[in-house]
Chain A
Amino acid sequence: MTEFRQDPGSFRDPGGHVFWLNGLPYRSVTAVGRDDMELLRQSGLADELSAGGQLVPFSTDGAMPDGAMRLKLSPLPWISYPYEWCFEQLQDAATLTIDVMLAALAKGMMLKDASAFNVAWRGGRPVFLDHGSFTRYVAGRPWPAYRQFCEHFLAPLAVISRNDALLGMISRCFLDGLPLDLASQLLPWSSWLRPSLLIHIHLHAKMQRRFADSTRKSGGKSATMSINSLRAMLANLRAGVSAMRSPLPQSAWHDYYHDTNYNDQAFADKHRLVAKACGELAATARVIDLGANNGEFSRVAAEHAALVVAADMDHGAVAGLYRSIRGQADSRIYPLVQNLDNPTPGLGLFNTERQPFLERCRGDLAMGLALIHHLRIGSNWSLAHIVRLFAQCADSAIVEFVPKDDGQVQRLLRSRPDICPDWTLEQVCQAFAQSFSQCHVENIVESKRSIIFLKK
């Protein structure tokens, strides 16, 4: 039976919509968007961008029952959202958007929107996924997506860069982009001295306020801009984005593996045990690495699996992992920022437009290395909560048990009473046995820690 599902996040553009057929992505192109789609294909722009890895490849695939054109899209291994990216990922997504816009201009087209949700990832490279964003360039007209680019990319990047990486989460609250007047208030006075921020955020915010109640048509003839001016403005935006630096503090986590109770032998043995579990995976397997830190063991998993989702709450650790795979389209690791105490919920229209993290993170193996003692002792999760997390992610799991006399747990208990009498290897295994039929424990040599291998 054919399974049809409209993509809940694709409903705004009258030119077409994304839908899923038997789990594969397609796009319908209505009569409104047909001319633009023909131009995208016939101008050679689609082929050029696809060949360069900047655009998700597609092919025409007949017609819809209502006469709309049907495109078959190349599936992406994993979808994440801008509020789950580290600073550098958002920066690279912004640069890609400008590059795609410049390439479009060279072919007589442009982007009619510049949403950060138009960008996905193929390994360590951003890829543009909204084929409906391309439209014919009208000479002399300003860029209609200018405001959206500033709100989705430039403003969040500037606010994060000038304050704290944790502000990456602010995009969760503003799915339509960070309002420029708010961004202008959040930026320090020194940002007025930087021309790109002065123009594109501060003056831009003032202009928006000034004309907020205007009855003038934004597409009217009063505002004109030559293509050379438009190109210079895009170059200025690109330079402004590239010049920004992540404000990463010295986080507690990105140096975790150099600051733990492992000696070289224990560390090597942990590698061996993880490789043993991953070695049993099929080549097409998906691994969910929760609390992945800097991806030390995500890399081990990536040697065996087709895809490794490496989630961690620490921006510094995620940024470090992303830097190590940046630009590599063949990387199987997908880093993302995720706080398991408050994972990404369903957002947008009816809370279905953007999927919750826990609905997306389904795989063949879930890994929780040096994680669950933080959930139990640090965040007061019950053992049942921990078991539920791993059981809903995959049919197999490996988790590391760190006992109370380990230095890391001692550190957690230093300033709080011990209210976790069930934190013993035996009771943790008993809890996992509620959802996993097989539970096998191996100790990490030269350490007090153990790896628990679980299967349903």
Chain B
Amino acid sequence: MCGFILAYIDPGVGSMILQGALAGLFALAFFYSRIKNWVLGLFRKPQDHKDD
């Protein structure tokens, strides 16, 4: 069964459409933060390993 059938609150048509409309913007934010972390990781000093 789909979760939406079980939801007992009204999600609101406008709220769902807003999320759909902004999905691209949030996807961009997601990948931007990933790329930013990757780039920052390149300049970050590697941490000392304490394997012993």
Q: Hey, which bits of chain A sit against chain B, CB under 8 A?
A: 12-15, 32-33, 35-36, 110, 112-113, 135-138, 141-148, 150, 199, 203-204, 206-212, 214, 216-219, 222-226, 228-233, 235-236
> In whole angstroms, how far apart are the Cα atoms of A225 and B11 in the complex?
15
Across the interface, name the chain A residue whose C-beta is closest to B4.
Answer: A219
When the two chains form their complex, are residues B13 and A138 in contact, meaning their CB atoms are under 8 A apart?
A: no
Is there a chain A Cβ closer than 8 Å to B10's Cβ? Answer: yes
| A146 cross-chain contacts in B, Cβ below 8 A | 11, 15-16, 19
In the assembled complex, which residues on chain A have CB atoms less than 8 Å from the CB atom of B29?
Answer: 232, 235-236
Q: Which of B8-24 contact A (CB under 8 A)?
A: 8-20, 22-24
Contact flag A203-B16 (CB < 8 Å), given A112-B6, A113-B7, A147-B11: no
- Hey, which chain B residues are within 8 Å of A233, CB to CB? 19, 22, 26
- The chain B residues found within 8 Å of chain A, CB to CB, are 1-20, 22-24, 26-27, 29-31, 33
With known contacts A14-B8, A137-B3, A144-B9, A204–B14 Cβ distance under 8 A: yes
Residues of chain A within 8 A (CB-CB) of B30 are 228-229, 231-232
Complex CA–CA separation, A217 to B4 (angstroms): 11
**Cβ–Cβ contact B27 & A214, under 8 A:** no
Q: A226-B27, A229-B23, A233-B22 are in contact. Are A219 and B6 (CB under 8 A)?
A: no
Within the assembled complex, what's the spacing in Å between the Cα atoms of A145 and B12? 9
Docked CA distance A417–B20 (Å): 64
For the complex, give the distance between the alpha carbons of A110 and B17 in Å: 19
Closest to B34 in A: A228
- Closest CB pairs A-B (n = 10): A223-B20, A207-B14, A142-B19, A147-B15, A144-B11, A232-B30, A232-B26, A208-B14, A211-B14, A219-B4
Q: B20's contact among A13, A15, A217, A224, by CB below 8 Å, is which?
A: A224
Pairwise interchain contact B18-A204, C-beta atoms closer than 8 A:
yes
Measured between beta carbons, the chain A residues less than 8 angstroms from B4 are 138, 141, 144, 219
Q: A144-B3, A235-B33 are in contact. List 14 more A-B contacts (CB 8 A).
A: A144-B4, A145-B9, A147-B10, A148-B9, A204-B15, A207-B18, A219-B5, A223-B19, A226-B23, A228-B26, A229-B23, A230-B26, A232-B30, A233-B19
A28, chain B: closest CB distance, angstroms: 15
Q: How far is the CB of B10 from chain A (nearest CB, A)?
A: 7
Partner of B18 from A136, A203, A235 at Cβ < 8 Å: A203
Closest chain-B Cβ to A61's Cβ sits at a distance in Å of 23
Q: Which residues of A contact B31 (CB under 8 A)?
A: 228
Give, as a whole number of angstroms, the nearest-CB distance from A72 to chain B.
23
Query: Considering the chains assembled together, what is the distance between the CA atoms of A204 and B16 in angstroms?
Result: 10
Bound Cα distance from A316 to B5, whole angstroms: 43
Contacts of B33 in A (CB 8 A): 232, 235
Task: Pick the residue among A33, A208, A217, A236 that contacts B15 (CB under 8 A).
Answer: A208
A45 to B5, CA, bound (A): 22
| CB of A102 to closest CB in B, whole Å | 13
Chain B residues positioned under 8 Å from A150 (CB to CB): 15
Contact A229 B9 (CB under 8 A): no
Does B13 contact A211, Cβ atoms closer than 8 Å?
Answer: yes
